[in-house]
Structure 1
Amino acid sequence: MYDLPSEEVGEPGLPDQFHPLQAKLLRLTFQPGNYDPEQVFSAMDLNVYYDENHTRRYKRPDWFGVVGVPRLYENRDLRLSYVVWQEGVSPSLVVELLSPSTQGQDLGQVEAEADGTPTKWEVYEQILRVPYYVVYDRMMEGFRGFELERGATAESPRYVEVEVRENRWWLEGLELGVGLWQGTYENVNRLWLRFYGSSGDWIPTPTEEERQARESAEQREEWERQARESAEQRQEEERQTRESAEQRQEEERRAREAAEERAERFRRLLMENGINPDEI
């Protein structure tokens, strides 16, 4: 990895602003359900060296993901490129973002070069045998998925296009799905390609997780506030109920005392007039 060039002089850079944003969103949400995050690697616009016999040959996917390799090169360093014969594992998924200059290569519509250098499609399909291949046309707002044909012979694997339903495709071998999401990312609202989990929910980015956690905390605080207010309201109602009961008891006591006082005055009046109240 340290000996092979990570870039070529005069090689064009990224074609537009969309490519790096889209690739970053894929990287942030690429979380296969059956692999430890420390055994998952993904990258954008990184050289993939695929032929140990022709070490200068490489392809540079817009984005690719690999499972079963350390997140860091030899568990200690950020990669300069991805050298398949050293890593021992081919990419599990490649995503190409279509543009006019690369569309022919991305869709396998060009012939191999005269010197025998294989096309991008041939490398993904025949040499690396990447299980899942996605091409996204943001201008047409749609993506196509290709999967290595099951049961294909080891000598001649080939891609077959899958049926993408409702802009979603479940990648069974990764326990992960890829689909189109209408939403705002990096303050841009559009259709983005991103991953979703087995629940069908979009896998959140760290920023989205923080926002969700903050919103959950705020919601919990609101629930707690409402609970406190409800408890205070119940206490107030109970206090008012007690006060009403005490007031009724006081009124009843006063009524009894008034009745007793009237009875006593009447008794005295009778006695003053020589009448024994007990004989009435």
Structure 2
Amino acid sequence: MIKTLSKPPETKTKYTITWEKLPEDFKLPDDPVENIDQPLLAAALRESLELAGFILASMLIASNFGLCAKVNDKTIVKAPDWVYVPSVLPPEPGEVRRSYSPNAEGEVPAVVMEFLSDTKGSEYSTISKYPYGKWRFYEQILQVPVYAIFDPKSGELEVYLLVSGQYTKQEPDANSRFRIESMGLFLGVWSGEKSQRRGYWLRWWDENGNLLLWGIERVQQEQQRAEQEQQRAEQEQQRAEQEQQRADRLAAYLRSQGIDPDAI
């Protein structure tokens, strides 16, 4: 079961936050992902958005990517498993974006996601001192409007909305999905196989309830459409042949009666 924490304990901790880009010589953490599921889940979320034409050049959608802030003169970097920023400033010519500092480089992330890992409870950590817990960093420092926590093993998904400065757990709709207002999409859990992984996945649905498809699903959909078209063509050909056979039989009958069918 996912551990829930809908209302973290209040704290009187005061933060002095400075928003500035990391210096080029700043060494970012280079921790490996904990398992193969994390990059697959993150890539699948992006893939369907990209194929649906949702992603714009002005957006930032990334996984295991450093979000930065200087808090009380100490630089903090947290790398969520998935992050969506609606609008960012373009990098300088030739610059490769290594990290992202909200306000200094664009908007605050609208959505961050964490996939439950072997580090028990880290996704719910409210540690209020350096280097700060993930929950604390997203809620109190970055103030990200939507925080989603997903357990790939059980398929449980929790979505928290920032309300009056604190995360409040949201209830899913009748389809067990959560509306992500900033994206105009719904987020939910889907069970099946992709990339040789069978299990639970996070998926997107549009306002009309249509699932945003992955590439392989689009290929399969086109193949099915082509097969259906082929079947219709074969049926039409079959009907045409049957009509011709009936016409031939009628012409043969008329001739047997001494009537020239071409003269009719």
Letter of the structure 2 residue corresponding to residue 112 of structure 1: S
When residues 163 and 87 of structure 1 are mapped into structure 2, their CA distance, relative to the original with a 3 A threshold, is same
Q: Is the 8 A contact 1:35 1:68 kept in 2?
A: no
CA–CA distance in structure 2, aligned partners of residues 99 and 172 of structure 1: 27
TM-score, normalised with respect to structure 1: 0.74
Larger Rg: 1
1:124 corresponds to 2:134: no
Match of 1:84, SS state, is coil
- Larger helix proportion, structure 1 or 2? 1
Task: Please say if residues 191 and 199 of structure 2, whose CA atoms lie closer than 8 Å, have aligned partners that are also in contact.
Answer: yes
| Residue 257 (structure 1) aligns with | none
Q: Is the 8 A contact 2:124 2:133 kept in 1?
A: no
1:215 aligns with 2:228: no
* Identity fraction in percent: 25
| Runs of 5+ consecutive residues of structure 2 not aligned to the other structure | 1-21
Contact 1:6 1:46 in 2 (8 A): no
Partner of 2:101: 83
2:4 match: none
Match of 2:122 in 1: 105
Does 2:187 align with 1:173? no
Do the aligned residues in 2 keep the contact of 1:4 with 1:56 (CA within 8 Å)? no
**Contact 2:127/2:136 (<8 A) preserved:** no
Secondary structure of the residue that 1:87 maps to in structure 2? Answer: coil
Given that 2:51 and 2:215 are in contact with CA atoms closer than 8 Å, whether structure 1 keeps it comes out as no
Q: Does 1:51 align with 2:104?
A: no
In structure 1, the residue matched to 2:8 is none
Task: After superposition, give the CA deviation of every residue in 1:156-194 in whole Å (9 maximum; x if it has no partner).
Answer: x11110012443112123111111111211122211112
- Give the counterpart letter for 2:112 in structure 1: V
Q: In the TM superposition, what are the counterparts of 1:133-148 in structure 2 within 5 Å?
A: 133-148=147-162
Aligned to 1:162: 170
User: Partner of 1:3 in structure 2?
Assistant: 24
Unaligned 5+ segments in structure 1 are 252-280
Distance 1:77 1:144, change over 3 A: same
SS in 1 for 2:40: helix
Counterpart residue identity of residue 41, structure 1: L
Per the TM alignment, residue 64 of structure 1 is displaced from its structure 2 partner at its CA by 0.9
Matched to 2:172, the amino acid is V
Alpha-carbon distance between aligned partners in 1 of 2:258 and 2:39, rounded to the nearest angstrom? 78
Equivalent AA in structure 2 for residue 227 of structure 1: E
- Please, which moves more after superposition, 240-249 or 48-57? 48-57
Is the Cα contact below 8 Å between 1:2 and 1:80 reproduced in 2?
Answer: no
Q: In 2, Cα distance between the equivalents of 1:238 and 1:2?
A: 84
- 3-state SS of 1:148 partner: strand
State how far apart, in whole Å, the 2-side matches of 1:14 and 1:188 are: 17
Matched positions, count: 238
Cα distance between partner residues in 1 of 2:135 and 2:97: 24
